[in-house]
Amino acid sequence: MNWNWVWVILILFWTGGFAWAADNVRTALRHRHERRMELISAERRERQALEAAGKPPEPVCGCTHHLAKHDKQGRCHERVEVPVAWDENKKPVRYEAGQCNCQQYVGPQPLSQVYAEELTDL
């Protein structure tokens, strides 16, 4: 056995091993980079959602009618179609003109709205 051959084989193993290790490191780094890009885009999406939430809310009541349709007592004066007959699938088939019986909600603000207002100060 010629010792030179042993060295050649050892060096081949080493360099091969190094290349393999370097490849692994590169893959790991790329994965981390991808993960980072994911995080950045997630952050951006979150910011867009916050910006959307920060927009002044439409002056629309929970009954979907404009707040201007409500009187000072909060009663909605919008005319609505009230179903008076239903088919066997509980789908309304006949409507009659009626008045929206909404009593505009005047209690404490919903939490999400409070948050939105705080965020717009930033």
Residue 16's CB is within 10 A of a number of other CB atoms, namely 10
Residue 100's CB is within 10 A of a number of other CB atoms, namely 18
Q: Which of 34, 65, 52 is nearest to 115 (CA)?
A: 52
Residues 87-116 that bind Zn ion (CB under 5 A): 100, 102, 104
**Shortest Å distance, C-beta 55 to Zn ion:** 21
Number of residues that bind Zn ion (CB under 5 A): 8
Q: Indicate whether 78 belongs to the interface with Zn ion (CB under 5 A).
A: yes
Q: Indicate whether 63 belongs to the interface with Zn ion (CB under 5 A).
A: yes
Distance CA 15, CA 5 (A): 15
Q: Which residues bind Zn ion (CB under 5 A)?
A: 61, 63, 65, 76, 78, 100, 102, 104
